[in-house]
Amino acid sequence: MSYDRMKKREAELAAEVDRWLKAAEAADAQEDKLYGDKRGDEMPDWVADKQKRLEKIREAKAALEAEAKAAAEAERKARAEAEERRIAEGGKKNGKTSAPPNTEPDGKAQRNFTDPESRILKTKDGYIQGYNAQAAVDGAHQIIVAQTLTSSSSDQAQLAPLLDGIRANLGTNPDEVSADAGYCSDANLRTIKRRRIEGYIATGRQKHGTKSATAEKPSRAGSLIARMSTKLKRAGYRSRYRLRKQIVEPVFGQIKQARGFRQFLLRGIDKVKPEWALICTAHNLVKLARAA
């Protein structure tokens, strides 16, 4: 660098540094006006106040107890419905009578104070605190045609809402649908049959090198799950189910890896649901822009 160039760059850099310092001073003044002597990232008051902390703990404890009672009631109802179906179909009662559902929360059940509506979810990368985001994707263009978000770690209850979303958005039911074993249940199989949708839903985890998914527990002969298992086994590698991974899995890969979306910025399910909808909309806009 020549001497003349050095003098010019020295003046330019000095002016730039001066602008930075003035901007920093302005930011400090603004933060002082907002937070006073505080930094702005202090812990909430209830953490330091033991009485308020006690109230928070009691609220969380009561919420866990209410959830446990609701889950026990739902389990009792499901058992009663299953028993009614068994009697109506003339099936035999197998095994011992199950113990009644426990209405007390599990000792290891947890509650998050920052976002009480979120839950601890098990993923392939370990356990995370978050929400269960769902997406239904079309088989030709990887466009998200319906989406849902829930705090439940189970996928079973999400198939019907996704199908409802598809019908609401497209004005018709899909011709066929594929889903992994997490969505497999008698209720879901009855739903797709009632809506005249050709379904391909795994009845268990699929092992490497096998032609079809193998159910962890044998299903009753003639049941919808047993028939679905037979359907997938007969088709083998020709089954339409084989397309599931190349249709929906890349979409989540593009959102999480290519666009770097790894966590929600908002708290509370009423705020996180629109955030997930916005993420899905952005994905679709990218797909449509590239196809244009």
Return per-residue pLDDT of the chain as tens, 292 residues. Answer: 777 877 888 888 888 888 999 999 998 888 888 877 777 667 777 777 777 778 888 888 888 899 889 989 988 888 888 888 888 877 777 777 788 888 888 888 878 888 888 988 887 778 888 999 999 999 889 999 999 999 988 898 999 999 999 999 999 999 999 998 889 988 999 999 999 999 889 887 654 444 444 444 555 656 888 888 888 888 766 677 778 888 888 999 999 988 999 899 999 999 999 999 999 999 999 999 988 7
CA distance 286 to 142: 11
Compute φ and ψ for 200, nearest 5 degrees. Answer: -135, 90
Task: Spell out a b/e string for 147-167, using b for 16 or more CB atoms within 10 Å of the CB, else e.
Answer: bbbbeeeebeebbbebbebbe
Instruction: Tell me whether strands 176-179 and 144-150 are parallel, antiparallel or unpaired.
Output: unpaired
Both tokens of residue 184?
């497999």
pLDDT digits (tens, 9 = 90+) for 39-86: 766 777 777 777 777 888 888 888 889 988 998 998 888 888 888 888
Dihedral (C-alpha) 221, 227, 233, 235: value to the nearest 10 degrees? 150
Using alpha carbons, list the distances in angstroms from residue 88 to 59, 74, 93, 187, 249.
44, 21, 12, 16, 40
Q: Of 176, 213, 218, 182, which is closest to residue 197 (Cα–Cα)?
A: 176
Using alpha carbons, list the distances in angstroms from residue 155 to 158, 161, 183, 214.
5, 11, 5, 19
pLDDT digits (tens, 9 = 90+) for 188-221: 999 999 999 998 898 876 544 444 444 445 556 5
Both tokens of residue 67?
């959830």
Residue 118 carries which DSSP code? Answer: -
Work out the widest C-alpha separation in the chain, in whole angstroms. 99
